[in-house]
Chain A
Amino acid sequence: MNVVSARSLDLTFRTGDGPVHALKDIELDIAPGEFVSFIGPSGCGKTTFLRCVAGLEAPTGGTLTVNGMTPDEARRARAYGYVFQAAGLYPWRTIGGNIRLPLEIMGFPEAEKKRRVAETLALVDLDGFEKKFPWQLSGGMQQRASIARALAFDADLLLMDEPFGALDEIVRDRLNEELLALWARTGKTMLFVTHSIPEAVYLSTKIVVMSPRPGRISDVIDSPLPKERPLDIRDSAEFIAIAHRVREGLRAGMEAA
Chain B
Amino acid sequence: MTDAPLSAPQAGVGRSGRVALRLRAVSGTVIPVLAVIAALVGLWYLACIPMNAQQSVLLAERGGAEVSPATASERRDVGGIALSLRNPDPALALAFGQDRPVLPAPHQVAAELWGSTVGLRVTSKRSLVFHGWITLSATLAGFAVGTGLGILLAVGIVHSRVMDMSVMPWAIVSQTIPIIAIAPMIIVVLYSIGVQGLVPKAVISAYLSFFPVVVGMVKGLRSPDAMQLDLLRTYGASGAQTFWRLRLPASLPYLFASLKIGVAASLIGAIVGELPTGAVRGLGARLLAGSYYGQTVQIWSALFAAAILAALLVAIISGVERVLLRRMGLMR
Residues on A lying within 8 angstroms of B by beta carbon are 54-56, 75-78, 80-82, 84, 86, 88, 90-94, 101-102, 104-106, 133-135, 153
Contacts and interface: CB of A to CB of B under 8 A. Distances in A.
B152 interface: no
A101 B245 CA distance: 8
Contacts of A88: 227-228, 231
B230 A56 contact: yes
B236 A76 contact: yes
A84 B231 contact: yes
A105 B241 CA distance: 7
Contacts, number: 54
Contacts of B230: 56, 82, 84
B255 to A, nearest CB: 13
Contacts of B332: 135
B329 A91 contact: yes
A75 B236 CA distance: 6
A105 B232 contact: yes
Interface string B246-278: 100110100000000000000000000000000
A92 B328 contact: yes
A205 B130 CA distance: 80
Most buried by A among B232, B235, B252, B332: B235
A105 B235 contact: yes
A54 B241 CA distance: 19
Interface string B206-238: 000000000000000000000110111111110
Contacts of B227: 84, 86, 88
27 contacts: A55-B233, A56-B234, A75-B233, A75-B234, A77-B236, A78-B235, A78-B236, A82-B230, A84-B227, A84-B230, A84-B231, A86-B227, A90-B246, A91-B329, A91-B330, A92-B328, A92-B329, A92-B330, A93-B329, A101-B235, A101-B245, A102-B235, A104-B245, A105-B241, A105-B245, A106-B236, A135-B329
A75 B252 CA distance: 30
Nearest to A146: B231
Contacts of A105: 232, 235-237, 241, 245
A81 B233 CA distance: 11
B189 to A, nearest CB: 44
A55 B235 CA distance: 11
B249 A80 contact: no
A152 to B, nearest CB: 10
A29 B332 CA distance: 48
A90 B235 contact: no
A91 B227 CA distance: 13
A115 to B, nearest CB: 19
A56 B233 contact: yes
B262 to A, nearest CB: 22
B228 A90 contact: yes
Interface in B123-151: none
9 nearest A-B residue pairs (beta carbon): A133-B329, A92-B328, A82-B234, A76-B236, A105-B235, A92-B249, A88-B227, A105-B237, A102-B235
A153 B236 CA distance: 13
Nearest to B325: A92
A94 B235 contact: no
Given A84-B230, A92-B329, A94-B329, 15 more contacts: A75-B234, A76-B236, A78-B236, A82-B230, A82-B231, A82-B234, A86-B227, A88-B227, A91-B329, A91-B330, A101-B235, A102-B235, A104-B245, A105-B236, A135-B329
B249 A90 contact: yes
Contacts of B235: 78, 101-102, 105-106, 153
Contacts of A80: 234
Contacts of B329: 91-94, 133-135
Contacts of A82: 230-231, 234
A82 B234 CA distance: 7
Contacts of A78: 235-236
A234 to B, nearest CB: 32
A134 B235 CA distance: 21
A75 B246 CA distance: 19
A88 B234 CA distance: 13
Contacts of B228: 88, 90
A127 B245 CA distance: 24
Interface in B310-332: 328-330, 332
B199 to A, nearest CB: 37
A76 B235 CA distance: 7
Nearest to B233: A56
Interface in B56-96: none
A84 B228 CA distance: 10
A78 B235 CA distance: 6
